Amino acid sequence: MKIKIINGPNLNMLGKRPKEHYGTKTLDEINEMIKKEAEGCEVSFFQSNHEGDIIDEIQASIGVWDAIVINPGGYTHTSVAIRDALEIFPGKKVEVHLSKVNERDDFRKINYITDVCDKTFMGMYEMSYIEAIKYLKNTK
Ligand code: DQA
């Protein structure tokens, strides 16, 4: 299975963000954990702070990658355009959040992403990504 991991804005700053929400690991450390868990799969990592670049990456994944694991960061709560791009992607789609987005600020309860994805994992810090990989490995 070929899995594209996409991280949105500010996730490149993990390690410096509030630990009570996001844990202590950097994005590089999380990506190393993902690589180990995804042994036997091909994985590729993409992070951007720009909405259009994330959309381009989702579109470029069509027909190339079997699955997308995406943490859209703050765009989760604002981006109809990322939602629309995900809707077109024909493979498996897994939404990931480090924090419990549905138990935080009211504006984080607005979510444009969940219902175009096959599965969501949240609130387990870096383990949310690991659960996403396990899910994909079990549902090929
Ligand atoms: C996040 C939650 C979002 O509300 C926030 O804007 C982020 C990270 C998470 O992983 O918990 O940047 O997606």
Model confidence over 60-107: pLDDT tens digits? 999 999 999 999 999 999 999 999 999 999 999 999 999 999 999 999
Nearest CA, atom 7, ligand 1: 73
For ligand 1, atom 9, name the residue with the nearest CA. Answer: 97
Compute the C-alpha angle 17/23/27, nearest 5°: 70
Name the residue range of residue 65's domain: 2-138
pLDDT band at 56 (very low <50, low <70, confident <90, very high): very high
Number of domains in the chain: 1
| Active-site annotation holder among 21, 50, 77, 97 | 97
Spatial CB neighbours of 19, under 8 Å, sequence gap ≥ 6: none
Per-residue confidence band for 140, with pLDDT thresholds at 50, 70 and 90: low
Total-model pTM? 0.98
Binding pocket residue ranges, ligand 1, CB within 6 Å: 10, 71, 73-74, 76, 97-99, 101, 108
Return the CATH number at 30: 3.40.50.9100
| Mean pLDDT estimate for the chain | 97
In angstroms, the Cα distances linking 79 to 16, 22, 52, 59, 127 are: 24, 21, 10, 15, 25
